[in-house]
Structure formats: C-alpha cells, structure tokens
C-alpha cells in the first residue's frame, strides 16, 4: 500500500504539484486534427488548466487560455483570423504566442496607444504530428516532440479514437504494467460477457501466466512473461507491450493517457492499418476521429454488456470503478503487482530529476534521437523486436502484418471507422510479423 502523502504525490497534476511539474515536461496529445474540421475552436482541459485549441484561417494552430484577459469571455467563441483568434466580445485579437495584436476601440480612440503591447493571453506550444495535435505546457526551452514509430509510418490508414474517463490517470497507467489482468479480465470475464450476450461462438481459451517480470529500459518499462504450457527456460520469456514513460502504452497501436485534471483522463487510441494488397494510401488521406463509449450501468443499474465485449470497455470499467482517485492506502498488493511498484518508483525518480533541474526520461533535445523511435514489441513466439527489426521497409512503409494492432474486438477497434468502412482493410496483430 501507499501512504496518503505518496498517493497524493503520485496522483495530483495541477500547477505547482510535483507530478504536475513532471508531466509538464512532456508533449501531450490533446485532440485529433480532424476534430477542428467541423469547428475551428475546441475547448480542452489539460493538467487542470482550461484552454481553447484553435486553427486560424492560415491553417496555423494555437492553444490559449479559455478566458479573454479583457472581460473573461470564453475564447471558444473566438473568430479565427488570418493570424490568431479574435475574442467575440470586443474584438481583441491574440496570436499563437499570446500577444495582443489588435484592440479595435482602444486603437480607434487613440491610434498611438501601446496598450496592446502590455496585454497577453496565456498561450502554449502546439504541434501536429500523425493526425494528432500535441501540446507542451512546460517551461522553456521546450523539448522536441518525439516521433514514436507509428506516427511516421507511410502507406497506412489511420484512425483516432478517444474518450474522457472519470478517474485519475495513474490507475489507468498502472494497468499497463499488470499483465495478469489480461487472462482474467480479457479472457475469463470476456468469455462471461460473450455468454451474457448469447454469443458462445466467441468464447475462447485463455492461457494463464506462470511468471512475470519487468525491466526498465531506454524508453520506459518492458514486461516479460511465461504462459501456461511454455517452457520456463529463459528463452521462453515473452517480451510484452512497452510502457513508454510516462503515459503511453504501445499495444499494437498507441494508447495515450493524458491527465485532464486529478479526477479525469483523456484517453486516445491511435491505430494504423495496412491497406489491401497493391493499394497505395495517399499521404493526405483524411484521418477520421471517433468517440469511444464509456461503459456504465444502464437505467436499471445493470452493466451494459454490449459495451463490455471489447478490451477497451472492460478496461475502462475496471479503471473507473476504483474511484475518481484510487485509495492506495487500503490496497493489498501481491506478487502480480511488482510492475506497479516499479512504475511508481520510476515516477518518483523522475520527479526528483525535475526538482534537481534535470531532464526526466524521454525528454528529447537531439533531433536524431527524437526521430523515428522504434518501440519494442513481441511476436507470437516471444521473439523480441527492437530497432533494426522495426516492422518497416527502407521506404518506411509497413511490412505486411506490422502496421498494427488489435483484432476487431481488441482495444477500441470495435468502433474503428477504417475497419468498418474500407474494403480489404484488416487490423492485423503483431503475432503475424515474421521474426527478423
């Protein structure tokens, strides 16, 4: 268990908190770029701060405080101009750096006024990559946005799903270093869900874990495991999905867990898909966004079994039912929880780095190191794939089977518009990747 003080330390992310200081050293996905197509402004809340993301008429992105510094009106109603966002209330115009460019009435009454030069709106850096919009809320100089492998794949379809989960980000990330839950939640319980839905044909066998282990490596934590029926020699240890510090999981696709505030988490599912044989995907192919439903009790207080037939729904239910912030002072940890202990230790170590003025893990300032970062995964035989076995050809297009990801009922792919709407496209698992 954790002390109350340690639980507060690891879960609170607002301005001025130690975990908030650590999380502000990273770029966070805050929206799919396509979400700005219908409306060029979008309210977002990140690390306890209320902000507005916008795209101006020149196509430039900006992220500013939700309220105009003049009379506190919401910039959600702001009007995008050729440069910047104009407050709807009195027409004050702000650029992406937060500078006030125009104050129409003040300038009409006094053409020589320099008042606007003394007014700023809080603004943060934003950058688009792979169809996502990333924000950096930390101190300058800003680090480079890391280009994790799937973000740069060529000749693939992509889609982006998201939802806001009503719980703290840490209990979601702790799931990433809990391999044993897979056999029970996504095996035993999943079979129970299929039986409740009257679909016994979907019921399948699930192998039990016999050994689990964890290693800290360059980008985070790697899981290792031996399953029932495996040889328990060292060669049989399978390398599982990597936890990319501090809040990314690669499990076929990417799952980012972005703290909205202490009690809510913005969760992204990012998938790439190999096209049908002989099909070339245009580089400007639109990347659709979709909402992932958050399962909860129905009007009778009963489980929504139709939302629990994919691992996304099963996971969300377990995360959210721990409470808005899990009370770790009452937890009883066992041998299956050694990954949680390691991850918590890693968080503390990196908070201490920030307090000393050092860069924490996965803060990149060298362009060569921030580009095309290949993340470790596994194949069906447990054969590990590091850099040099990246699942990509020389032209950065995917080797068949390497593009991604979850099967049709894994992750959030049940809701995938790419799988639903494109002929000949199939999400394929890493198990199909030949060893290198």
What is the rounded distance in angstroms from the CA atom of residue 137 to the CA atom of residue 267? 18
Q: Per mean pLDDT, which range of 61-65, 198-202, 236-240, 325-329 is the poorest? A: 236-240
Q: How would residue 277 be classed by pLDDT, with cut points 50, 70 and 90?
A: confident
Q: Per mean pLDDT, which range of 1-15, 139-153, 268-282, 383-397 is the poorest? A: 383-397
How many helices (H) and strands (E) are present in the chain, helices listed first? 11, 21
Which has more confidence, 258 or 238?
Answer: 258
For the segment 319-327, the average pLDDT, to the nearest whole number, is 97
**Mean of all residue pLDDT scores within the chain:** 88
Q: Per mean pLDDT, which range of 179-188, 206-215, 287-296, 379-388 is the poorest? A: 379-388
User: Among the ranges 266-270, 415-419, 432-436, which has the highest mean pLDDT value?
Assistant: 266-270
What is the rounded distance in angstroms from the CA atom of residue 156 to the CA atom of residue 172? 28
Q: How would residue 241 be classed by pLDDT, with cut points 50, 70 and 90?
A: confident
Q: Quick one: pLDDT at residue 377?
A: 66
pTM of the model: 0.90
Dump pLDDT digits (tens) for 335-393.
Answer: 999 999 999 999 999 999 999 999 999 999 999 999 999 987 654 343 433 322 233 44
Q: Per mean pLDDT, which range of 65-79, 164-178, 278-292 is the poorest? A: 278-292
Spell out the residues 6+ positions from residue 134 whose beta carbon is closer than 8 angstroms to its own: 27, 28, 29, 30, 126, 127, 128, 145
Antiparallel, parallel or unpaired: β 289-291 and 157-165: parallel
Cα pseudo-dihedral 395, 397, 400, 406, rounded to 10 = 150
Q: Quick one: pLDDT at residue 414?
A: 86
| CATH number, domain 34-129 | 2.102.10.10
For the segment 198-216, the average pLDDT, to the nearest whole number, is 90
For the segment 276-304, the average pLDDT, to the nearest whole number, is 93
Domain boundaries, the chain: 34-129, 149-432
Q: Quick one: pLDDT at residue 398?
A: 42
Q: Per mean pLDDT, which range of 68-77, 104-113, 252-261, 417-426 is the poorest? A: 417-426
For the segment 385-409, the average pLDDT, to the nearest whole number, is 38
Q: Quick one: pLDDT at residue 276?
A: 86
What is the rounded distance in angstroms from the CA atom of residue 293 to the CA atom of residue 291? 6
Buried b (16+ CB within 10 A) or exposed e, 281-300: beeeeebbbbebebbeeeee
């Amino acid at each position: 268990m954790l002390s109350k003080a340690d639980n507060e330390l690891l879960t609170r992310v607002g301005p001025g908190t130690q975990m908030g200081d650590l999380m502000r050293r990273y770029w966070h996905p805050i929206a799919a770029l396509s979400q700005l197509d219908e409306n060029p402004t979008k309210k977002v809340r990140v690390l306890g701060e209320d902000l507005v993301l916008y795209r101006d008429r020149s196509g430039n992105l900006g992220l500013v405080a939700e309220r105009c510094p003049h009379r506190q009106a919401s910039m959600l109603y702001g009007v995008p101009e050729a440069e910047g966002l104009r407050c709807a209330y009195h027409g004050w115009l702000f650029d992406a750096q937060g500078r006030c460019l125009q104050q129409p009435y003040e300038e009409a009454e006094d053409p020589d006024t320099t008042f606007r030069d003394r007014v700023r709106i809080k603004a943060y850096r934003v950058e688009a990559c792979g169809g996502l919009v990333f924000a950096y809320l930390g101190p300058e100089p800003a680090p480079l946005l890391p280009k994790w492998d799937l973000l740069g794949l060529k000749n693939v379809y992509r889609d982006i799903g998201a939802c806001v989960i009503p719980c703290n980000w840490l209990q979601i990330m702790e799931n990433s270093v809990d391999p044993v839950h897979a056999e029970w939640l996504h095996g035993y319980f999943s079979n129970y869900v299929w039986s409740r839905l009257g679909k016994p044909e979907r019921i399948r066998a699930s192998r039990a874990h016999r050994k689990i282990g964890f290693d800290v490596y360059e980008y985070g934590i790697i899981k290792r495991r031996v399953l029932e029926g495996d040889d328990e020699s060292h060669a049989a240890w399978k390398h599982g999905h990597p936890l990319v510090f501090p809040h990314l999981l690669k499990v076929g696709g990417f799952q980012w867990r972005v703290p909205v505030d202490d009690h809510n988490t913005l969760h992204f599912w990012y998938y790439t898909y190999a096209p049908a044989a002989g099909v070339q995907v245009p580089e400007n192919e639109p990347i659709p966004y979709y909402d992932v439903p958050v399962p909860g009790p129905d009007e009778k207080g009963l489980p929504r079994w139709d939302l629990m037939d994919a691992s996304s729904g099963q996971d969300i239910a377990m995360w959210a039912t721990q409470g808005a912030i899990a009370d770790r002072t009452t937890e009883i940890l066992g041998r299956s929880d050694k990954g949680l202990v390691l991850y918590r230790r890693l968080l503390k170590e990196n908070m201490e780095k920030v307090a000393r003025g050092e860069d924490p893990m996965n803060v990149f300032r060298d362009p060569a190191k921030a580009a095309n970062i290949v993340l470790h995964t596994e194949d069906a035989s447990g054969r590990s794939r590091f850099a040099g076995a990246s699942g990509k050809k020389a032209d950065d297009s995917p080797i068949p089977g390497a593009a991604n990801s979850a099967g049709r009922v894994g992750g959030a792919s049940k809701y995938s518009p790419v799988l639903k709407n494109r002929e000949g496209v199939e999400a394929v698992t890493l198990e199909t990747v030949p060893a290198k």
